[in-house]
Structure 1
Amino acid sequence: MARRTNTSCLGLAVKGYLLLSVWTVVGSVLALPVTVVDLMASQDPPVRLHGFEQHAVVYGAPVAVALGVAALTRWSRPSPWWTYLAHAAVVLVASRAAVAWAETRFDSPDWSSRALAQGGAAGLTAFLSHLAVRWWDNGGFNHGRRRPAPGEIWHAFVPFRDSDAGKERYCVVMRTRLRHVEVLKITSQDKDHRSDHIRIPNDGWDLRSGKAHWVEIGLPPLIVPYTDFTDPWPKGRCPKPTWRQLRARRPEAATARLTPAAMVRAVRGPRRG
């Protein structure tokens, strides 16, 4: 038992060291526009950046690293391209603010000490933003229930189009909003004879029936509040060929607004009964 504990502690120590090293390098690169300019200004005589190449390295490397942090954070949760850019922008702005804070707090005459403090502040900020986004994607304030993402198949209470009633069924998430999700419902009834449905392979997400399924594409997506999802995790991902068809053939008409009953469910919490 003691040997297993020691091995576990060693593994945690190695992981911690690697984690610290990675985020230290990330912070050092994010702080380059400040630390490099500071180093050049401290030379005798002072020097400045010259040419496109030098500017590209000093100011382009932090952008590339910020995009890498965004990709690392969301690699297991495919998202629209603009979310990666937004996350990268947050990392750049937050890390620059952290560098400015460290610059005022650690005004050491030694350049290496200043650069270490500034890089550490930038790396810590990037790491905290990474944790915050992962926490939000994995449930956040939603009681640990992970928020659905486009292209995932979930089980939810999906309303009927002509009333506030509905039924629990599989659905494909098309778009996420602040309070609700836009979904296309999935049915196991044979719809091969209808042009407003397309077949979706049962690629391991329906473990109960194993039947073929069809997705409704002839009408706008339906509104489902986050509280109406019956499981805390998705059933699986929509097969790529089907997902491409859904994105290409989905109606462009606006989705219906939240019905009064859906608004009540979104505010009060999960449906009961």
Structure 2
Amino acid sequence: MTRRTNTSCLGMAVKGYLLLNLWVAIGYALALPVTLPDLMASQDPPLHVQGPLQHAVLYGVPVVAALGVALFASRRASVARWVVLARAAAVLVLGQIAAHWAAARFDAPEWTARAMAQCAAAGLAAYLCLVIVRRWDNRGLAPGGRRPGPGEIWHAVVPFRDNEGSKERYCVVMRSLPHYAEVLKITSQNKDHRDDHIRMPNDGWDLTSGKAHWVEIGLHPLRVPYQDFTDGRPKGRCPRPVWRRLRAESVEAAPSRV
């Protein structure tokens, strides 16, 4: 037990050391427009950034670093490209602000000390951006840490269609929106006599119950908040023939249902 505990602690220490170095490297890349001119000015004689290539490196490296942080922060949720670009711009701007703040606050005589303070400040700003984005995106995730996708079958607390209340049941996800999914209910009660249900094969999602299933069709999807999905992963995908029919006869969700 002691040996296993020591190994676990060592692994955590190594992981923490690597993560610290990673964020220092990101901070260095973001602070480059501040640290590099400072280094060049401290030379004898002083140097200056010249030419399009040097300027491209000086300002291109922070842009690439900020975009990398934004992409990594946004990987748990499906977001639009402009959102990723906006997040990258926020990382870039906040990193520059942090680097300039550190340059003014930690005016050490040694360039190395000044540069380390600037890199640490920019890296901390980028890390805080990552944490904020992750927490924001996690509002739109099911308990297991992912967002239900269209065509997937999940287990969730689905509201009744004709009265108040809800019930845990299987459902087909029709659309994924920022804070909720639009779903159609699946039932094991025989609905062959109704036009608003069709038979759903168990292939690909229910391999154990042996029950027949029916799914709603041609009805307004019901809105289910992501916190009402009871499992962390889907049961499977809707059989393709059924999914094609559901999409062909889909209608927009009723605006009164939240």
| Normalised TM-score (structure 1) | 0.68
Measure, in 1, the Cα distance between the counterparts of 2:57 and 2:248.
43
Contact 1:184-1:215 at 8 Å conserved across structures: no
Letter of the 1:24 partner, please give it.
Answer: V
CA distance in 2, matches of 1:30, 1:86: 16
Cα distance in structure 1, aligned partners of 2:7 and 2:157 = 46
The Cα offsets for residues 132-166 of structure 1, whole Å up to 9 and x where unpaired, read as 333454569x9x95676251654322234454444
Unaligned runs of 5+ in 1: 263-273
Which of these residues, 231, 234, 242, is aligned with residue 232 of structure 2? 234
In the alignment, what sits opposite 1:15?
A: 15
Greater gyration radius: 2
Flag the 1:13–1:165 CA change in 2: closer, same or farther, 3 A.
Answer: closer
**SS class of match (1:157):** strand
Between the aligned partners of 1:250 and 1:102, the Cα distance in structure 2 is 59
Once residues 55 and 210 of structure 1 are traced to their aligned partners in structure 2, the CA distance between those partners, rounded to angstroms, is 67
Identity %: 48
- Name 1:266's counterpart in structure 2: none
**Structure 2, unpaired ranges of 5+:** none
- Partner AA of 2:48 in structure 1: V
TM-score normalised to the size of structure 2? 0.71
**One-letter code aligned to 1:58:** L
Match in the other structure for 2:101: 101
Summarize the Cα distance change of 1:24–1:207 in structure 2 as closer, same or farther, 3 Å threshold: farther
Tell me how far 1:118 sits from its aligned partner.
1.0
Is 1:183 the counterpart of 2:182? The answer is yes
CA contact (8 A) 1:223 1:257 kept: no
Aligned to 1:155: 155
Query: Which amino acid letter does the alignment assign opposite residue 170 of structure 1?
Result: Y
Post-superposition Cα deviations, 1:173-213, rounded to whole Å, max 9, x if no partner, equal: 73334xx4132224256999989989797645x57637787
Separation in 2, partners of 1:37, 1:252: 59
User: In the TM superposition, what is the alpha-carbon distance from 1:59 to its structure 2 partner?
Assistant: 2.1
Whole-angstrom distance in 1 between the partners of 2:237 and 2:123: 37
Residue pair 2:187, 2:215 contacting (<8 A) in 1 also: no
| Corresponding residue SS for 1:155 | strand
Q: Name the CA shift for 1:59/1:201 in 2 (closer, same or farther; >3 Å).
A: farther
Q: SS where residue 236 of structure 1 aligns?
A: coil
Instruction: Tell me the equivalent position of 2:73.
Output: 73
CA contact (8 A) 1:154 1:236 kept: yes
Are the structure 2 counterparts of residues 101 and 154 from structure 1 closer, same or farther at C-alpha, using a change threshold of 3 Å? farther
Whether the 8 Å CA contact 2:49–2:55 is kept in 1: the answer is no
Residue aligning to 2:175: 174
8 Å Cα contact 2:32-2:58 kept in structure 1: yes
Contact 1:138 1:147 in 2 (8 A): yes
Alignment check: 8 A CA contact 1:196 1:216 kept: yes
Distance 1:136 1:230 in 2: 18
Contact 2:153/2:237 (<8 A) preserved = no
Equivalent runs, 1:34-183 vs 2, <5 Å? 34-43=34-43, 44-51=45-52, 53-75=53-75, 77-82=76-81, 83-138=83-138, 145=143, 149-151=147-149, 154-171=154-171, 172=173, 174-177=175-178, 180-183=179-182
After TM superposition, give the deviation of residue 31 of structure 1 in Å: 1.3
Asked if the contact 2:181–2:226 (Cα under 8 Å) also holds between the matched residues in 1, the reply is no
Contact 2:158 2:168 in 1 (8 A): yes
User: Over aligned residue pairs, what C-alpha RMSD do you find?
Assistant: 4.3
